[in-house]
């Protein structure tokens, strides 16, 4: 019996730290960008909680150097705080991905990481990563 047992709370940290916490699905609308022009595509991220406990969730999106997450062209990483996800609950997060005049043709890898937090967003318990490809034509 741990310290949490005395106060009627159970320690779920060990359980949440072992298994894969999320199922992440991504979709681009439109599914490709135009090269060497200012264009954008909306990245829709769907996060599903696979654990049996409610968890505090945030999603971090990272793009390569030729792409950006804002119109100015300087932001390469963005955090979206999703909030609490109950067991088996799904939520969406939307992020715009921008190309500019220096974006060449090709495929660009975009990283999506969903984090399990405890207490507040500064404390990370577990994470799930996914890489997705954006085509520039």
Overall average pLDDT of the 104-132 stretch: 95
Overall average pLDDT of the 49-69 stretch: 95
- Give the separation between CA 122 and CA 56, rounded to whole angstroms: 11
Q: From residue 111, how far is each of 4, 35, 78, 88 by CA, in Å?
A: 36, 20, 11, 23
- Check if CATH label 2.60.40.10 holds for domain 12-136: yes
pLDDT of 19 reads 76
pLDDT tens digits for range 71-105:
998 999 999 999 999 999 999 999 999 999 999 99
pLDDT of 3 reads 43
Q: From residue 113, how far is each of 31, 34, 72, 102, 132 by CA, in Å?
A: 20, 26, 23, 26, 11
Token couple for 26: 């991504």
Q: What is the value of pTM for the model shown?
A: 0.84
pLDDT of 4 reads 47
Considering Cα of 117, then 60, then 132, then 88, what sign does the dihedral take? Answer: positive
Overall average pLDDT of the 11-39 stretch: 82
Considering Cα of 129, then 87, then 56, then 80, what sign does the dihedral take? Answer: positive
């Amino acid at each position: 019996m741990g310290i949490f047992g005395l106060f009627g709370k159970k320690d779920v940290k060990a359980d949440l730290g072992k298994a894969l916490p999320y199922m992440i699905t991504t979709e681009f609308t439109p599914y490709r960008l135009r090269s060497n022009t200012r264009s954008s595509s909306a990245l829709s991220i769907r996060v599903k909680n696979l654990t049996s406990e409610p968890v505090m969730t945030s999603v971090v999106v990272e793009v390569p150097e030729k792409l950006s997450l804002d119109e100015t062209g300087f932001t390469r990483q963005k955090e979206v705080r999703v909030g609490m996800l109950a067991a088996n609950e799904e939520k969406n997060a939307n992020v715009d991905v921008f190309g500019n005049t220096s974006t060449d043709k090709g495929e660009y890898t975009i990283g999506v990481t969903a984090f399990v937090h405890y207490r507040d967003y500064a404390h990370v318990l577990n994470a799930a990563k996914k890489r997705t490809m954006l085509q520039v034509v």
